[in-house]
A and B are shown apart, each in its own frame.
Chain A
């Protein structure tokens, strides 16, 4: 029972961070219909930003979110304005090539600056835990990052539902042409959406850095994860991405315990295929005709 609870808890907590990565990707896709293959690399940039803030200025990784969120927003907005906007009406292959290229430039630039050495952030709480009883423990940094994720997701939900800009973003994602006819500046909405997506990816990077390691190629792993989460939840659905992230976290964790750690990726992908088979638009997705 302790093993079950332990793996359920860590699955949910790590799933929260996965969700944050997925939400960023789904937001970008929803508004622009561009699949962002550089998403994991944007997250990696966020990790290095956190690392710099921690080692040079001594800012705690969780506090540094306050700085990295706006910086990553500007970075994403810049990417959108200078690169992505140009290919919005291009064929899908070109968009894919562009984002893959951007990702390569990011990871190799970082490698030139920081070398390919693994960087490990060691904070006073990096391996501390809260004992829940019954032999079950919760990782403190993971719990904090889960709470921050939850707060950010709630704030994002409020922003998208209640504010004018949020509604304009949603309108753009529902129908770009109609939104433009209604007087919404879709180009600006795209920049905001890409900025938000990047900021969320960067934040996920910041949140995971006290418990994970940082190296220039780390993005690849998470790009793949973000895709599975987004497609599983339904492309473009924020709720779906949240659900998908937590679901994948739990599946990974449970299959590591009850099947084998070596097989957990297989289980995740089988689950993914099953969802695609029976609900091709994803869990929360609506099929678009």
Chain B
């Protein structure tokens, strides 16, 4: 009997493929960011299913950071030291990711961030931090490029929440419009969760901007658009940078969301391998449309698990694997490269979309377009 056990033990030790790959997940599963966090959770669950089918034995250690950086950091400490995971996928928000990134470097744990936008996260030369999604500068430049190609905007107003995500996106957007010769006429950061933005929007309206650029999470996006309608803010285009402007809840509010332009990391109508199927499966399993966060999380988990498996559960080798690897899946071509001051950043192609007849349609870049853009923004009814 003992001989058998020894033999079994030896086989297990010699074939790391058979051992479970222990991978940590940090996500905002409760708290104010939970509605988007849910997409990430579901994306990872689908990835887990698919990896099992491929014979990859996965053991996920879930940590809920409730959207707070300090909790995120203690989760990372726990995963790195107590749970001894090979790598970590997450967290969701920029503030959490930025805090956790430095810890990942300290403990030498490969960290793959699926959907946080703040640029600095991959701009501080951290060797163990990888990012799937395009950073905030891409949000801004792709949206502004879209507006410039559609019309001749001369002035722009910024309305954004004063969080890491909001200020970082707006800062790069301001630098970018300066290059394009568009004048900034209003710059309004707001504290998240206020009940009344009417006065801010009335002030923006009085400057009569050609473009209104907004950055906010889900519920504020609806509130901001409702109140824009109330005060009669009428620009050539409303540009919503990701997050709240790319959710199904937002699209459902047809009276205020129609013709709003936003950008996204992913839609289910692109021709990336498996993207359409992913969208359909997600909807069948969870009963809702996935947001780009779900696709980012799915792709991140698949890449992390496969790389960890190939590296035999070794952290250093997993890092090498991520650094040198190349993938093609639901997020298109993925490669973690160093460019423009970024380290381990996937140079991801952003998509510009517009809500037309209540659903998101890709309008730019033209090779992925499903509909022609409506420009300028139609008069409020």
Q: Which residues of A does B touch, CB under 8 Å?
A: 2-3, 6-7, 10-11, 14, 17, 111, 115-118, 120, 122, 126-129, 135, 137, 139, 208, 211-213, 215, 217, 221, 249, 252-254, 256-257, 260-262, 264-265
Contacts and interface: CB of A to CB of B under 8 A. Distances in A.
Given A127-B256, A257-B199, A116 B34 contact: yes
Given A11-B199, A120-B219, A127-B229, 9 more contacts: A2-B202, A10-B196, A10-B198, A111-B30, A118-B219, A135-B205, A211-B195, A215-B32, A264-B194
Interface in B244-259: 249, 253, 255-256
Interface stretch (B16-24, B114-122, B185-193): B185-193
Contact of A257 (B35, B190, B200): B200
A118 B199 contact: no
Contacts of B197: 256, 261
13 contacts: A6-B231, A7-B203, A111-B30, A116-B30, A118-B35, A118-B219, A127-B230, A127-B255, A217-B31, A221-B193, A252-B196, A257-B202, A261-B200
B222 A260 contact: no
A117 B193 contact: no
A118 B202 CA distance: 26
B325 interface: no
Nearest to A222: B195
Given A10-B198, A10-B199, A217 B230 contact: no
Contacts of B31: 116, 217
A165 B2 CA distance: 84
B353 to A, nearest CB: 21
A120 to B, nearest CB: 6
Given A3-B202, A7-B198, A137-B232, A265 B256 contact: no
B191 A117 contact: no
B206 interface: yes
B155 interface: no
Contacts of B200: 256-257, 261
Given A7-B198, A213-B223, A256 B189 contact: no
Nearest to B32: A217
Given A208-B195, A262-B189, A129 B230 contact: yes
A6 B159 CA distance: 18
Interface in B182-238: 188-191, 193-200, 202-203, 205-206, 218-219, 222-223, 226-227, 229-232
A213 B195 CA distance: 9
B162 interface: yes
Contacts of A122: 253, 255
A6 B206 CA distance: 11
B226 A126 contact: yes
B226 A261 contact: no
A211 B206 CA distance: 23
A116 B230 CA distance: 28
B206 A212 contact: no
A7 B256 contact: no
A123 to B, nearest CB: 11
A262 B162 contact: yes
A260 B189 contact: yes
A283 B162 CA distance: 32
Nearest to B203: A257
B189 A261 contact: yes
A7 B190 contact: no
Contacts of A3: 199, 202-203, 205-206
A146 to B, nearest CB: 12
Contacts of A17: 195
3 interchain residue pairs of minimum CB distance: A7-B199, A262-B189, A116-B34
A253 B226 contact: no
Nearest to B188: A261
A135 B196 contact: no
B191 A139 contact: no
Contacts of A264: 191, 194
Contact of B188 (A118, A215, A260): A260
B30 to A, nearest CB: 6
A155 B256 CA distance: 37
Contacts of B223: 211-213
Q: From B35, B199, B200, B202, name the one whose CB has the most chain A CB atoms within 10 angstroms.
A: B199
A248 to B, nearest CB: 11
A260 B253 CA distance: 28
Contacts of A265: 191
